[in-house]
Amino acid sequence: MTDGQTDVPHGAQLRVLASPPEATWRVVVCPHAGGAASYYRRLVLARDRGVGGAPGSPRGSSAPFASAPEVVAVQYPGRETRFGEPPVQTMTDLLADVAGPVRALLADDVPTVLLGHSLGASVAVRVAAGLGPGEAPDLLVVSGRATRADRPRSGGRDGDGSDVVGPGRLTARDDSALRTWITALGGTPPELLADAEFFALHARVLRADLAVHDSLGTAAAGEATEITAPLLLLAGSDDVASPPEAVAPWAERARAGVRRRVVEGGHFFVGDRAPEVVEALRVALTAVAAGTYADQVARLAAEERWVWSREIVAADLRRLADAGAAS
């Protein structure tokens, strides 16, 4: 095992960001909209800023999964090492490209966390769907992804966290709208956004990923799926796109236990607070291995479920009314 970005035997869809010889567990990441594999090298660097040295898991500890994990990131078409390939435009096509290699990787005996951030959470949930014992990830992590954003056809009001992937209305994606939206989310230095060449390259894959998000409105790609793997929900405390309360309803799909963790930061807390995130993954995976994870099934209270359902119905009625007024 070596550090560095290399292909794994399953093809260009997967990039090994680090594979330390002492690793006893693995993290596989499905990136956010517009994201590429290299962004998640921050999870690798996290080991030098606390992972393996944090309280309760010191370096050299015999605690389960105390060593730094192997980190593998999914590489979507059209970026970095796959720049020469055209980006895909639908979730169906994206899954056709990446699901096979990820599922093949999950089939070995290495305890594996499958983490999807933002749009990547919708990818990860669908990759894991239908996998049986011995095939599914040991832990599935939905990070920075509002539940209703996973089904855009549900509509929603501006600012309520339900249309978290697009800048304003899903059709308002000119350069100005994209820049404004990216700036609001954070995570991209302003000087890069001001660079015309960088922005053109970034907008190319971002618009494709936004089209993938839009495609969730179709029956096949947008189907709500039960989550049979242990589920960890991660949310940024100050995430304007997917606030903690918008991430929480994912718990309704969990069938093998679910826990929630709010991390200080905005939408890109995964990179900004990488040591804390990796430690949260380690703690959760340890509980899974100990067989105690499902002891804490964090279901929504009946009143929370009612409010959430009522808001979805109201959003659907508004969408139908808007469609009728436009016709």
C-alpha pair distances (Å), 7 with each of 2, 37, 75, 101, 156: 12, 11, 10, 11, 40
C-alpha closest to that of 155 among 217, 91, 223, 239: 217
Give which of 231, 221, 229, 235 is closest to 150, Cα–Cα.
221
> 314 or 11, which is more confident?
11
Q: The tokens of 294 are what?
A: 């499902």
Q: How far apart are CA 23 and CA 220, in angstroms?
A: 37
What is the structure's pLDDT at 29? 98
The pTM assigned to this predicted structure is 0.81
66: its two tokens: 């105390």
pLDDT grade, residue 51 (50/70/90)? very low
Q: Report the percentage of the chain scoring pLDDT > 90.
A: 54
φ and ψ at 100, to 5 degrees?
-60, -55
pLDDT digits over 277-292, tens only? Answer: 999 999 999 999 999 9
What is the pLDDT, as a whole number, of residue 20?
Answer: 93
Residue 3 above 50 pLDDT? no
Average pLDDT over residues 137-141: 97
pLDDT mean over 21-41? 95
Give the model's pLDDT for residue 262: 96
What is the torsional sign of CA 222, 223, 229, 235?
A: positive
pLDDT > 80? residue 159? no
Asked if residues 249 and 300 have their Cβ atoms less than 8 Å apart, the reply is: yes
Sign of CA dihedral 274, 277, 283, 286: negative
For residue 182, the SS3 value is: helix
Whole-number pLDDT of residue 219: 67
